[in-house]
Amino acid sequence: MVPTTTNGSATEVNPRASEPIFRLRRWIHVLPFLPSGTSTYLSALTVLALLHAVGLLLFTRGFLLTRQALPDINDCNPIAASGNLDPACSLEPTHQKLVFLVVDALRADFVLPVEAERANPFYSNHIPLPSRLAQSAPAHSFLAHFIADAPTTTLQRLKGMATGSLPTFIDAGSNFAGEQVTEDNWLGQAKRAGKRIALIGDETWLNVFPRQSGVWHDGLVWPYDSFDVEDLDTVDRGVRTHVLELLEPARQREWDILIAHGLGLDHAGHRFGAEHRETTRKLGETNQLLEDIVERLEDDTLLVVVGDHGMTDRGDHGGDSREEVDAALWVYSKRPLVDASWFRHALDSERHPIAPLVRAASGASDFGDRFALDWLDKGLHRVTRSVSQIDLVPTLSLLLGLPVPFGSLGVPIPELFFRPSTLPVAPQSDTKPKRNFFGFRSGQPEQRDHETLTPLQTLLQATLLASSELSHYLMTYTSRPAGKDLLPSMAELSFTLELAKTAYKGAHAPGHVRSDMELRALEKFWAFERRAREKARVIWARFDPVLMGAGLVIWAGSLVVAYRLYSAASRGPGARFLVGRAVEGALIALCAGGLLSFAGAFRGRPSTLGAAFISALGAELAVLTTGLAVPRARSFPTPGALLPVLPLAAHAAVFGSNSMTVFEDSAVLYLLATLLLFSLVRGFAAPEARLRWRLVAFSTTAVVAVRLMAVSTICREEQIPHCRPTFYLAPGSTASLAVFALSVVAALIVPSGLRASLATSKSDEGLAPVFIGVGIRALLLSASAYWAIDLALAATSFSPAGAALANIAKTGVARVVFIGATLGGSLIWHFLPLCIRIHRDQIRNAAGEPIRTQIQVIGFANALGSTYLLYFATVYVALFVVSPPPAQVSLTLHLVVIQCLLEIFDSERDVRHLETAMTSTVSLEAFLHDSNQG
């Protein structure tokens, strides 16, 4: 083609200038597709899969939050070659040894003293030793709420107590997979300082710190399985035996840090709940272990007892309620921990030595950052100290004379540093220069070397060291590409830190009242650390609505694209053209996204996410703006057909409201009942009495079953006090026995109900009676036997031998039922012939002579449906055996609803066929009548 000008003269053009563009467009449209129609469909599915992947990527990056873990460590060596302690690294150690005891699921009110009128007989005041020593020797004992950051799974809590970092949402999924700590931590610092660390108890510690990490001392590791919830005693017995052995004088020199982690209390909670005699027994054993440890404790050994998380009264812990995040902390030493002046005034008095800190933390927006807490629901009316779990990291590090780990966001606990101390002499030339925090060598004014510090100065020095490392971490984190999320907050944090530095320097300037300026500096450093932690928690625990919204936009657009591709699927060229347009639009948008990324349009977020969003959006717009004729649908759904869609649409809209999301169970109950009422109303208009009876009967039965399912409730934390849980029942109570009896009845009648359902379509043929009537019934009754043994173990007392035998029998029954349902049932179902029976009948003439054979296939009308019902029965058995009796009753009601829905759909199909036939007959008669009249 030769382009021409307006006057008709030919204008020469360079064909090579436009040829690459045409070739590129032809390659985009043609290359991905072969002539066959199958490849066209695969290409269309590939485009849709990519769009869904981009939407999922964007949404999850905004919803499943992550935090960049930095491998840096605080390499400040507090001990110089000369033996001097560098004051820029740590404080002088108060103790040479540490016993760190983790009692899994040790909730705060299990340890703190509870008022008698609010005390629970199962778990209140059964560990009295910590509170008794805190009252008799307050300078030697520190007892507090220990606030964990959600998620409160053991792995995340161990990581938090080791590194001092905050978890993110995505960390919850790694609790059972295990995840090694790659960040700096106080155990690694202790190992580098030459400490010998022993481990006894929960093997989860080996997931966090594997043997090859070098943290554990050879020959001092005794791990135990953490997943045998049925076993309440093996781990605790091992912990008790080895801990007391290592505390004997003859073995005191073998270790420096002893970490023990008991699981019996957590397993008792999971197995029986907090309100059970087994929980009481485990609390008593814990108290006895503490008494034995305190009795053997040396003067240079510090005892720290912590709960990694709490638990609900049902033994659950995920972080949704205060019961799950409020654990206990107890620190004890035979040497004084705090100066006596700490106790001269009440904690909430303005005359207290650190009154400004208490006042500043009293109004903290975050629950875990408040200085003191009450727990009125649990009878804790006294003003009890609260400590964030991550505050333990700098506290232990400084008490042991170790550097504060890099990345720790914790604040030193004031009670453990408000004491006189000596500022050691800084080394001169035998250590490398340290980071300059104030402009002084080694971070301190030279004239302060070997100075005797007052209690306030010791606390200030500890807070200063933590602030120094925190400042270094923030600067390092925000300098990395993945750390830009904290960058907008750095200006405010830097200003707060400069105020603290100025106050600290002013405390040593001539002419100032040192104590007043030191208290002011302490308050400023405290404000900096708390503010930094608040900013980090907001960033790492806050959803990104922009990325989530971008993901939802791509998802919504992909639905429209899918509809257009589906509509054009009947025409191969049309589908190929649309897919080609999608690829072309994606490439053009990708180029535009690259330019925007280069221009800095995606500042604050990864440029790859912005490019992916623009590419996917360009592909969708290219498809949606392409004019392609789509054949009209031959018929449109009737209003009656669209009516059942409304409850589904309403359920999707529920998640747009926070209140409706909280009460989703009530919304689902209402919408499901509404959906069933549609069928009930339509049943009255059925053309046959038999169909009317079936529709009305099955719809009514389904509605009643749905309402009965709602009787069993599990309440969310936000639903209290508008919801009362009924799912959990005390073992041995009348209600629990009644529910168990109902579950046994369900095990007996469900097989009969399934056979009756098959009999309506004459599908109860072949091996179906044996499969359901014998196999399914036997497995269901065996499952009931399993829960009968479990109920007996929970409600009555057994001898150790009897309990062991009962557990063996219970486990054996459970394995037989589960394997029989999943493996055996599936194999039998796979090879089972169809549920039909072939009946041969001889057709005879008037003389009685056979003329032909008539074959009748009984059950053929529902040959496939009956087979799938048998498979569904095996799934029901597998769920039945792993569900407690209340859940078994609910599960059976679910089965009833499903069966009713199947019968309702079958009857409605028959109604439609009858109405179509009747309409056709009436139309034919009218046509014939009009013809005759004509």
Tens of pLDDT, residue by residue over 177-187, are 447 888 899 99
For residue 51, count CB atoms less than 10 angstroms from its CB and return exposed for 0-12, middle for 13-18, buried for 19 or more.
buried
Mean pLDDT on 1-19: 44
CB 149, CB 166: distance < 8 Å: yes
Q: Which two tokens stand for residue 849?
A: 């002579």
The class of domain 97-167+183-426+448-540 in CATH terms is alpha beta
In angstroms, rounded to a whole number, what is the distance separating the alpha carbons of residues 114 and 100? 25
- Distance, in Å, from the CA atom of 337 to the CA atom of 418, rounded to the nearest integer, reads 8
Is pLDDT of 393 > 50?
yes
What is the average pLDDT across 744-762? Answer: 88
**In b/e form, how buried is each residue of 188-208, taking b as 16+ CB within 10 angstroms?**
bbbbebebbbbbbbbbbbbbb
Question: Among 477, 494, 495, 497, which Cα is nearest to 486's?
Answer: 477
630: tokens are 């789509």
pLDDT band at 441 (very low <50, low <70, confident <90, very high): very low
pLDDT at 445: 45
Which of the two residues, 916 and 208, has the higher pLDDT score? Answer: 208
Residue 810 CB partners (closer than 8 Å, separation 6+) = 786, 789, 790, 793
pLDDT higher than threshold 50 for residue 440: no
Tokens of 95: 């103790």
pLDDT at 6: 41
Rounded Cα distance, 689 and 411, in Å: 77
Cα distance between residue 568 and residue 564, in whole Å = 6
Over the stretch 278-333, which tens digit does the pLDDT of each residue have?
A: 999 999 999 999 999 999 999 999 999 999 999 988 888 877 788 888 999 999 99
- Provide CATH 3.40.720.10 ranges for the chain: 97-167+183-426+448-540
Measure CA 401 to chain center: 36
What number is the average pLDDT over the span 700-719?
86
CB 564 within 8 A of CB 622: no
Q: Distance (Å, rounded) from C-alpha 199 to C-alpha 220? A: 6
List, for residues 902-930, the tens digit of each pLDDT value: 888 888 888 888 878 777 665 656 655 55
Give the Cα separation of 922 and 916 in Å (integer).
Answer: 10
b or e along 667-681 (b: 16 or more beta carbons within 10 Å of the residue's beta carbon)?
beeebbbebbebbbe
Task: Note the pLDDT tens digit of each residue in 534-564.
Answer: 888 877 766 777 888 889 898 888 888 888 7
Q: Which two tokens stand for residue 243?
A: 């801990």
- For residue 260, the model assigns a pLDDT of 97
pLDDT of residue 243: 97
What pTM was computed for the model?
A: 0.77
For the chain, give the number of residues: 934
Distance of alpha carbon 869 from alpha carbon 753, whole angstroms:
12
Calculate the alpha carbon distances from 797 to 1, 167, 537, 731, 802 in Å. Answer: 98, 41, 47, 12, 9
Position 700 scores a pLDDT of 92
Instruction: Report the SS3 class of residue 801.
Output: helix
DSSP 848: S
